[in-house]
Chains A and B, each alone.
Chain A
């Protein structure tokens, strides 16, 4: 197998085991490229990629842009916090205007679930979902799983707990889907109000006690409390949240075991995770960021095979 089945990467739900494996193997090769003095290959010389971000992003956007540059693609950047909508232009018109500039791949981030799918249904370009509301964030999940595999050797039967604001998290959904596909045991942990009622239909364990969750786990993926996505109050205060669901060194020490700590960023330091934990040797937060470039290079490269 040397190419993906679909023209788009819209979600982990559309990938099978072999495709995930192919992306990981391809990322291994690109990771090697990134250690060379000249960190660039000409693979996407003939390809134009548009990074279309309708929602704020720092690391995902930089990571995509760097991946595209390392592959020698032509890049078009577009950021708009719904500004064209405010001017009265529909999303589809905005996208079609960008598309006529002969764009081959569109990297899309939007606050509304399903927007990459909607765009993919309406344009000819390949679409990569860079995060759509509370739906999916497939490249983040791929780099998270890749980072776990890199650290632990493999993922099958490993215990991974995802902690925090599950209900507002596209990272959680994509992570659950990929980790289950790779054979891991997955637990979600957080205040009951931040856990979707039907999450167990995804075959995950639900836990509300953080200490129990950490005791059980090999890896803890700590999510950002999505304050910006909470249109109503889900818990009483950040103080209470950090006291009962935040991870700090004292808590980690009390477990008397090794635990890998991950976080998709950006971190609310002192809320879901304390600085001493984020910067500790258990943390692979920065490896995640580094692997993000290789994973995104792999996806761009593999999708470019499907462009005629």
Chain B
């Protein structure tokens, strides 16, 4: 494969070509040449793509995705999910283990890897830290690591048992692995379904107090201090959480965190119409929380923005709010959502939150745009606009509040080593 991207602007803070308009030649999946002047082609089979007006960054990496396969293939499966990922600009996906059965044996890891071997996007499976994600017994973590699980987490289930958390951190430390936990104290949140506040009060929906998240952060950090190891918090959502992590980082703890894209854009006033697309976990919080989360991103306290892609079939959403399942699909709209945020934080700094930072946290090869690098690129147009409709929705599910919105920002193509795909 030989590809020439003509007149494209690089958006990559780790590349010396950042902000420059260049021509990029890729041969056999390796970046061969980058030049602001014309590149003479030796190979007549080189595919030339005119990218005038477009930008290219390091391939996008989503840190929290559910593809529901095996077990819930009616919502999404590895094939539909991989296709969705690459069409949405993602060269890499961190897959949550909350399938049925959960991803917890080397066979499960091989299943994911084999099934996505030919996909353009690389699907990195995580494995459940505890058996069936029930928080009581460790899985065979060394074996799972060997099989290719890139991190360990109970995913949508929070690790409640403090002793289990301690042992998990210690055990994973043996190979410098990463533990991911979603911070939520069960006893304080078990009946809650939305953010506790004015809007939960007038809508009569049971609230989840901020402290359910914050208590868990504090607990986990205390354990981390005691055990050592590497811990990542997934889906922090409150103002105080940002402060807690700020302090922990200042103390030098080996901790990172991510925030879901929806928690940066939407507040809990959306729940008052009982639209189940807004039933999410972590829940939508307040405008104050959003401001603090954005500040946390700017300051580098929050390392990653993740999609929190969680497909649900209509039978699980078109029901009473109390009975609806959590989550929204969010890969396809991710970039458009990022562009909304770019009015507050520069696009190039936002992009590090879903390119270089996730790779750094997972110890995965950095693929910034330089000669000799394995090509991992996303090509996009931040001015283009599109209407998101049922007809062009790629996921098998359609639980998105953005459906029927006119959105800005289009993904033009992705290149992942020798594979590439262009949406035109």
Query: Which residues of A are interface residues toward B (Cβ below 8 A)?
Result: 13, 90-92, 110, 112-115, 117-118, 122, 132-136, 170, 173, 177, 196-199, 201-202, 231-232
Contacts and interface: CB of A to CB of B under 8 A. Distances in A.
A265 B196 CA distance: 28
Interface in B283-334: 315, 318-323
Which of B191, B196, B209, B318 has the most chain A CB within a 10 Å cutoff? B318
A91 B274 CA distance: 15
7 contacts: A92-B318, A112-B322, A114-B321, A117-B273, A134-B206, A173-B202, A196-B207
Contacts, number: 69
Given A90-B318, A198-B196, A198-B197, A112 B323 contact: yes
Contacts of B201: 173, 196, 198-199, 201-202
Contact of B203 (A113, A118, A197): A113
A86 to B, nearest CB: 13
B151 interface: no
A92 B318 CA distance: 8
Contacts of A196: 200-201, 207
Interface of B: 191, 196-198, 200-207, 209, 273-274, 315, 318-323
A114 B318 contact: no
Given A90-B318, A90-B319, A91-B319, A114 B196 contact: no
A198 B198 CA distance: 6
A43 to B, nearest CB: 32
A112 B204 CA distance: 9
Contacts of A115: 320-321
Contacts of A114: 203-205, 274, 320-321
B329 to A, nearest CB: 20
A199 B204 CA distance: 11
Given A112-B323, A114-B321, 10 more contacts: A90-B315, A113-B205, A115-B321, A117-B274, A118-B321, A173-B204, A196-B201, A196-B207, A199-B201, A202-B198
Contacts of B209: 197
6 pairs of A and B residues whose beta carbons are closest in the complex: A114-B274, A135-B204, A134-B204, A112-B320, A113-B204, A201-B198
Contacts of B273: 117
A198 B210 CA distance: 13
Contact of B321 (A92, A113, A122): A113
Contacts of A136: 204
Contacts of A92: 318-319
A113 B272 CA distance: 10
A138 to B, nearest CB: 12
- Tell which of A113, A133, A232 has the most Cβ of chain B within 10 Å: A113
